[in-house]
């Protein structure tokens, strides 16, 4: 779980992993001793605290960041079927999938080569009378210029959804990112900055109507969100046609079970209390790796913050192998994996190159040169809060030994 002696070459250096200890375990055991494991008191506190971090008013704890994205799209763009939503081509699948599943038309634009985030000039160029929204991920945790995106959304009457599944707690010019978004999402998957016992997500809104609608969709589509009070005069003051009925089992919408569990929220609350601790370690690790790779400019393009005045919470350490370098990405990744250093490609790269997306209804504005380059040349390695100096030394020594061979 936490620290143990590291044996280079024998122990795996993970790209990311959950770090937890006795406090998280105790919180779950305390929750398990209660009479109820579904949405409960821990969930409500967790929702409130995460909403405050993002600068949003309302939050709903759900089973994943993917579900959070789907619910955000459902709440804000439910009446806009066949409308166009601008989103980057370099992305993660579950940023795009909710648009497709909701009958919307994604309009893909390229990203910047060293931030991996959407090119905002291209976003503005792509807006047309059919555009209804912007679906913008903070890829690898790198924050977009949300103030500029908010100005675009206001000028053209668009909904702005920030997919912050890769990050939590980042700020832009001292302001939480959710201040600018109509909806914000985040994820507590096992490999993310904090986790809710291996999973979970949060969808957040400024508007109470959106939050209440989303709660109904999350909870099977039942009207029970309106009938939490068990008093019979409230519960049974409902009719289906001429039949008096229990309001807790009236279905108002076509919904799903996207709920998370209270033990997850209890675990997540302890993790949330450690966010600053985790962030300091991750920033230290990121800087060590950044300074190391800066010594090889002929081989690597380094990551750059999309907004200089932002506090970025990077999910992992990203870099691009220059096309002019003799390094072959797969060779480097295999060299590291063979030495027990876990690696990843930079998520989907250009999502349109992946089989399920080749036949979807979509548009492309401009070319996708950078998304294609990231698909071919991008790599991720760990900078998470479970890594100590000895882990990083081993990673850097391994890369140096590889470079000596090419």
Domain boundaries, the chain: 22-273, 275-403
pLDDT computed for residue 79 by the predictor: 83
Tokens of 58: 């309302």
pLDDT computed for residue 35 by the predictor: 82
How many alpha carbons fall within 13 Å on the CB side of residue 77? 33
> Cβ contacts of residue 31 below 8 Å, gap of 6+?
37, 42, 262, 263, 266
Q: How far apart are CA 58 and CA 53, in angstroms?
A: 11
Q: Regarding predicted confidence, which is higher, 231 or 385?
A: 385
Average pLDDT over residues 105-109: 99
pLDDT computed for residue 233 by the predictor: 82
pLDDT in tens, 43-75: 999 999 999 999 999 999 999 999 999 999 999
CA dihedral 126, 168, 195, 136 (to 10 degrees): 0
Q: What angle, rounded to 10 degrees, do the helices at 262-273 and 275-293 form?
A: 60
Q: Regarding predicted confidence, which is higher, 227 or 293?
A: 293
b/e code 167-194 from CB counts within 10 Å (16+ = b)? bbbbbbeeebbbbbbbbbbbbbbebbbb
How many alpha carbons fall within 13 Å on the CB side of residue 15? 20
Q: How far apart are CA 10 and CA 67, in angstroms?
A: 37
Q: How far apart are CA 89 and CA 103, in angstroms?
A: 18
pLDDT computed for residue 248 by the predictor: 86
* CATH class belonging to 22-273: alpha beta
Q: Band of the pLDDT at 96, cuts 50, 70, 90?
A: very high
Instruction: Examine the residue annotation and report whether 231 is marked as an active-site residue of this protein.
Output: no
pLDDT computed for residue 296 by the predictor: 99
pLDDT in tens, 259-279: 999 999 999 999 999 999 999
Q: How far apart are CA 64 and CA 13, in angstroms?
A: 26
Q: How far apart are CA 350 and CA 147, in angstroms?
A: 26
pTM over 0.85: yes
Q: How far apart are CA 10 and CA 16, in angstroms?
A: 17
pLDDT in tens, 202-249: 999 999 999 999 999 999 999 765 556 678 888 888 899 999 999 889
- Return the bridge partners of 247, or none: none
Q: Where are the alpha helices (DSSP H) in 87-145?
A: 93-101, 120-126
Provide the phi-psi class of 135: left if phi over 0, else alpha when psi is between -120 and 50, else beta. beta
302: how many CB neighbours lie within 10 A of its CB?
16
Q: Are 403 and 299 in contact (CB under 8 A)?
A: yes
pLDDT computed for residue 80 by the predictor: 87
pLDDT computed for residue 227 by the predictor: 54
Domain topology for 275-403:
3.90.1150
Q: Which position among 4, 130, 138, 192 bears the catalytic label?
A: 192
Strand pairing class (317-321; 378-381):
antiparallel
Q: How far apart are CA 167 and CA 263, in angstroms?
A: 22
Average pLDDT over residues 342-363: 98
Same fold for the domain at 22-273 and the one at 275-403?
A: no
Q: Band of the pLDDT at 376, cuts 50, 70, 90?
A: very high
């Amino acid at each position: 779980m936490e620290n143990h002696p590291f044996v280079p070459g024998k122990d795996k250096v993970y790209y990311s992993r959950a770090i937890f200890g006795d406090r998280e375990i105790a919180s779950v055991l305390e929750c398990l001793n209660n009479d109820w494991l579904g949405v409960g008191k821990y969930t409500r506190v967790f929702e409130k605290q995460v909403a405050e971090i993002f600068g949003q008013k309302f939050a709903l704890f759900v089973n994943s960041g993917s579900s959070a994205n789907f619910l955000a799209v459902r709440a804000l763009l439910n009446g806009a079927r066949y409308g166009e939503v601008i989103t980057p081509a370099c992305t993660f699948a579950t940023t795009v999938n909710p648009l497709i599943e909701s009958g919307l038309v994604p309009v893909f634009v390229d990203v910047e080569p060293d931030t991996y985030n959407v090119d905002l000039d291209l976003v503005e160029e792509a807006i047309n009378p059919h555009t209804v929204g912007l679906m913008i991920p903070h890829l690898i945790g790198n924050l977009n210029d949300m103030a500029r995106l908010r100005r675009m959304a206001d000028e053209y009457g668009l909904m702005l959804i920030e997919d912050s599944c890769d990050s939590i707690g980042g700020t832009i010019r001292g302001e939480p990112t959710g201040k600018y978004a109509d909806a914000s999402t985040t994820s507590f998957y096992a490999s993310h900055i904090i986790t809710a016992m291996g999973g979970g997500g949060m969808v957040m809104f400024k508007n109470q109507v959106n939050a209440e609608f989303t709660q109904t969709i999350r909870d099977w589509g039942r009207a029970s969100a309106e009938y939490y009070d068990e008093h019979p005069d409230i519960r049974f003051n409902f009719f289906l046609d001429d039949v008096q009925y229990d309001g807790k089992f009236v279905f108002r919408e076509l919904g799903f079970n996207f709920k998370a569990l209270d033990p997850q929220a209890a675990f997540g609350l302890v993790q949330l209390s450690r966010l600053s601790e985790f962030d300091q370690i991750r920033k230290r690790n990121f800087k060590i790796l950044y300074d190391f790779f800066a010594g090889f400019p002929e081989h690597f393009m380094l990551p750059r913050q999309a907004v200089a005045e932002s506090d970025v919470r990077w999910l992992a350490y990203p870099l691009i192998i220059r096309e002019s370098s003799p390094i072959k990405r797969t060779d480097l990744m295999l060299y590291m994996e063979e030495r027990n250093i876990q690696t990843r490609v930079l998520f989907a790269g250009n999502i349109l190159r992946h089989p399920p997306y080749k036949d979807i209804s979509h548009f492309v504005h401009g070319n996708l040169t950078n998304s294609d380059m990231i698909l071919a040349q991008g790599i991720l390695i760990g900078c998470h809060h479970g890594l100590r100096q000895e882990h990083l030394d081993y990673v850097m020594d391994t890369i140096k030994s590889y470079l000596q061979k090419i």
